[in-house]
């Protein structure tokens, strides 16, 4: 299970070090990285990505506009990236541009995938969604009886 919040920096070649604790949770030496929904990138282990891509393709039709949009935005930009011996992945320019990734980055382990955020965009997203978080936490507390 992928967990944890980590801060790191891109180097001048667009390489991102996957922190050792997070890397230890990754099976194998590759990650599939694609565009996320909120200006972040999503990174999946190849098996998980294959399941997601297959389910998306199996449950939609190329004749549905929304399905084509989802495939263009999520499946098409996906790239399988090798984790090098130093523990880095080389993020392609197109993915760095989408995530506005320039230097300071936040990596979030979210159970079965990793989100990769520009640190400033992540802070803004956390601030903008604070009320939504508190409301969701309130509902979750009722459901879990905590």
Is 88 part of any domain? yes
Residue 133 lies in a domain: no
In three-state secondary structure terms, 12 is coil
Q: Tokens 């919040």 — which residue?
A: 5
Q: What's the longest Cα–Cα distance across the chain? A: 49
**Residue 61: per-residue pLDDT:** 82
Q: Which residues contact 14 (CB under 8 A, 6 or more apart)?
A: 90, 91, 92, 93, 96
Question: Looking at residue 138, what is its pLDDT?
Answer: 87
Query: Does residue 129 belong to any structural domain of this protein?
Result: no
At residue 70, the pLDDT reads 87
Residue 50 confidence (pLDDT):
95
How many structural domains are present in the chain?
Answer: 1
In a domain? residue 137: no
Q: Is residue 136 part of a domain?
A: no
Evaluate whether residue 42 is within a structural domain: yes
pLDDT of the chain, 146 residues: tens digit per residue: 899 999 999 999 999 999 999 999 998 999 999 999 999 999 999 999 999 999 988 887 888 888 888 888 999 999 999 999 999 999 999 999 999 999 999 999 999 999 999 999 999 999 999 998 898 888 888 788 75
Kindly report the CATH number assigned to the domain that includes residue 75. Answer: 3.40.1550.20
């Amino acid at each position: 299970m992928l967990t944890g919040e980590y801060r790191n920096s891109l180097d001048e070649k667009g390489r991102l070090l996957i922190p050792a604790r997070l890397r230890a949770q990754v099976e194998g030496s590759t990650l599939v990285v694609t565009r996320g929904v909120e200006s972040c990138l999503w990174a999946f282990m190849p098996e998980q990505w294959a399941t997601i891509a297959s389910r998306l393709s199996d449950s939609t039709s190329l004749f549905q506009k929304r399905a084509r949009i989802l495939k263009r935005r999520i499946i098409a930009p996906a790239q399988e990236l090798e984790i090098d011996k130093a523990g880095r992945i080389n993020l392609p320019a197109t993915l760095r541009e989408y995530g506005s990734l320039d230097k300071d980055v936040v990596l979030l382990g979210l159970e079965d995938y990793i989100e990769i955020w520009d640190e400033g965009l992540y802070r803004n997203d956390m601030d903008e969604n604070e009320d939504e978080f508190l409301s969701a936490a309130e509902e979750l507390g009722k459901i879990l009886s905590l």
